[in-house]
Structure 1
């Protein structure tokens, strides 16, 4: 079984991360994340360039793919506020390792773009180019659903389990029913990244098992992708892995293989056979 992390960040700027609980370090290189991946038994990872604190992170991700083509792929981005950058979406996949697009839209001023028409061009353009698109949709589930319904050919991914980013324990699952209803749309998937962050309990985070099980039952193994966002996790990388591979009794066999990497590759068009495997 190959284990593929659906979200990691690397960066090189001297400013430290401005987002959430990410490690406050000036840089986090491809080589550093690879060392942690190797220790944890992770074969490959999908890089999400953190443009919010490193404007050059897209180029850094492409360099990582060139140096380690069997270990990395990318969900990239560009400056949505710059109309001149819109043309970049055409031929986006021609860049090394580029699988799709991702904008978290964490800030209130960025979320306004969803409602004022600023992004109305983006959804049909990504749909036409066949580019999967990931967002922190748990912050705006009704709008996320509206976009997915209007563009059924656009593969959309809910970041970080689609849960309430600002809550932990039961508060993280306050809109779970609304999230599960999105599973009715075949073009919507869930990235089960950052799950340990939602629990204040120690490993194995038993109080969020039921919620994760309900998400799995709704979306199924083909539309639920394990991952970490490791630079803000409250536990070790290896524990992020074993949380899913050893602690969830309902996740076994072919379903486990799908959730731990195969389904992600199928969804975004990453050649599973090209990912470096290891002897288990």
Structure 2
């Protein structure tokens, strides 16, 4: 089952950098008095595991196993330790310094033996301007040690990688920046397919007011409506009525003329 779970686990990049460290206690009188005046030097391996790919400027989670430090404790006691690993991040066209700070943990120290800090997880923010592949090269390893007894004491133990060109402990490939441009929209005025043509224009003079009308279409006559039909019928009826009255008057005059004769 463990093998099956490992096969379905997310892919991660991992590497180990075997370096040489020098822990110089001369700069801190308290550390010098506690750890000794002679600097501790020796080998130390850094193993880092993290995602295989990421994005520039992204904060990623890595797991760091710093191995056994050349710095040794003169006393056998349990202390609280806060580890910090500093890396040189190298990428195409530049470099940056990144620090990974681990959580404070209780660590039992063995007298006159190298301090072995267990593996810890930490966040690292990748350079925003990086591209291609980012290699993390160990640069320094610092320990903040809090001794609770017999007298509470805080020690800062600085250790520096002395290798001229240490091997990368971890590499992450950055996703290429998107080059796809956005869609462009061209906005223009569309001409209407329908057009109105004026084929005839008429002017009617009535009570001194001129009105003009436009007929749309292709030389088509104006259409008449129900009101036009009613008006025509009215005029026709009036004309017939007048003709009838005229006929009656003419017949009456003839009858009168014959009687008088």
- Smaller-chain TM-score range? under 0.3
- What TM-score do you get using the length of structure 2 for normalisation? 0.16
TM-score using structure 1 length = 0.16
Q: Which has the larger radius of gyration?
A: 2
Greater strand share, 1 or 2? 2
